[in-house]
Structure 1
Amino acid sequence: MTDNFALYPSLRDSVVLVTGGASGIGAEHVTQFARQGAKVAFLDIADSESAALTRTLTTEHLPPPLYRHCDLTDIPALQAAIAEVAKQLGPITVLVNNAANDQRHDYEDVTVAFWDERMATNLRHQFFAIQAVAPMMRAAGGGSIINFGSISWHASQGGMPAYTTAKAAVEGLTKGMARDLGPDGIRVNCIIPGWIMTQRQIDLWLTQEAETKLLAAQCLKTKLVPADVSRMVLWLASDDSRMCSSQLWVVDGGRL
């Protein structure tokens, strides 16, 4: 099941929480942690996709992950879901702040309400999830928090200013929280993925022209898939990266 890729003994039986874990990159995170023998929970609002993921993992004879329906823009609901996960599985020592929505939008059409909703969808929940897990990580003697940024603003991508602003801010959040939580043995890192070929990306935006431009920009002439990012997540979550914090990890095939 793991092909020729690494197994991390430190991840076995660790309690991992993934936000936005029902589909796409998030579902790959859940799958990869389950294969490592971790106790995995994930939050999402996509009930049918979550059930399908659980069924897929059980066909691999893996323990089913713990799924909780949660609208991450509802911070009290997020805090309650995190507390419930910890009650059922034990203290969370790995947090993957994966959830986001890269909906395109024209800057001329942005309202105050839309701007605030995009910040809530792509940025705010990352901080409050960190705030909720930090005490249990501190009590456990440490932990790993992995935030997800985006290549989009690094590449000066237009057409979604609220999203690129939120994702730029994730890097600042990462740096500041790494400093604040470091004395407690809690590492905070940020992954900057390139264009990852999830089904959503393929359906909405991958054209032959776009693919040609993408591969021309990358040093490595192969499209990235979710597992390419998840394997970086596994390493950052494991003790193998125990002295890595406050860093930005780019997984983009050499595009930037």
Structure 2
Amino acid sequence: MTDFATYPSLRGKAALVTGGAAGIGGEIVRQLVEQGAEVAFLDVDAGASAAAGARFIRCDVRDVSPLQAAVRQVATELGALDILVNNAARDDRIPFDELDVDRWDEQIDVNVRHHVFATQAAAPFMRRAGGGSIVNMGSISAHIDLRDLAGYVTAKAGIEGLTRTLARELGRDRIRVNCVIPGWIMTERQLRDWVTPEAERLIEASQALPEKLAPADVARLVLWLAADDSRLCTGQRWIVDGGWM
């Protein structure tokens, strides 16, 4: 079994993960806890409060005022906020001809808008601490040929631009902002809803590396970006896709 890195600089750091109940977010929460960080996560899943070693606040990230209140609550309860992982997302398939204004707004709200306003609420606490690390979760979907995902793909492409501008906005305060771009990650939801035999053939044909990607592969990159080891890395895209792009 491979031994992966331990990051002493993460011990005692205060971290918040949106969409942290399951999938990639759940794995990020678990690995931050294992590194000794003080971790809280937001999710709409009321059953997530049993997650070991992390605080849970039920929050719908589409609702900006409660979202920002939850960020401030976490920072107050933990005594600081050093790390923010903007992870919450939904890749609902919507045929383009069925896309209406309400469903478009829903896709933007759940997939990119909360990155802006969670960061806005977190930044004062990071300034007070002398710096911090923000990780925005993008997606390979903004770079490959997919259908029925117009809103999701648009939002995920926007996250890359948002990351660049926030890195400039916040860099003088020693707040780093990076974007992680996962490939097709084998979460429970993806395996249940979307990974068909045809999809498996596409993955095999598209990736340079033959192994299927797991949430832990993404979480380990997030750990490095959250830790002091990446202290001068900001405004960048970091791709975990098995060599697809």
TM-score normalised over the length of structure 1: 0.94
Contact 2:59 2:67 in 1 (8 A): yes
Tell me the residue number matched to 1:41: 40
Q: Within 5 Å, which residues of 2 pair with 1:50-199? A: 50-52=48-50, 54=51, 57=52, 64-199=53-188
Q: How many residue pairs end up in the alignment?
A: 245
Q: Offset of 1:3 from its aligned partner? A: 5.8
Query: Is 1:233–2:222 an aligned residue pair?
Result: yes
RMSD after superposition: 1.1
Tell me the residue number matched to 1:31: 30
Tell me the residue number matched to 2:233: 244
SS of corresponding position for 1:37: coil
1:25-50 Cα distance to aligned partner (Å, 9 max, x none): 110000000000000000001011x1
1:30-87 Cα distance to aligned partner (Å, 9 max, x none): 0000000000000001011x134x2xx3xxxxxx211000011110000111111111
Which structure 2 segments of 5+ residues have no match? Answer: none
What is the one-letter code of the residue matched to 2:150?
Answer: P
Q: Distance in 2 between matches of 1:129 and 1:84?
A: 12
Q: Pick the aligned partner of 1:221 from 206, 210, 215.
A: 210
Q: Distance in 2 between matches of 1:196 and 1:97?
A: 17
What is the one-letter code of the residue matched to 2:196?
Answer: T
Classify 1:92/1:3 alpha carbon distance in 2 versus 1 (closer, same or farther; 3 Å).
farther
1:65-119 Cα distance to aligned partner (Å, 9 max, x none): 1100001111000011111111111111100000000000011111111111111
Q: Distance in 2 between matches of 1:225 and 1:99?
A: 17
Tell me the residue number matched to 2:18: 19
Classify 1:3/1:92 alpha carbon distance in 2 versus 1 (closer, same or farther; 3 Å).
farther
TM-score normalised over the length of structure 2: 0.98
What is the one-letter code of the residue matched to 1:13?
Answer: G
What is the one-letter code of the residue matched to 1:101?
Answer: R
Q: Offset of 1:216 from its aligned partner? A: 1.5
Q: Distance in 1 between matches of 2:75 and 2:191?
A: 35
Contact 2:181 2:240 in 1 (8 A): yes
SS of corresponding position for 1:124: helix
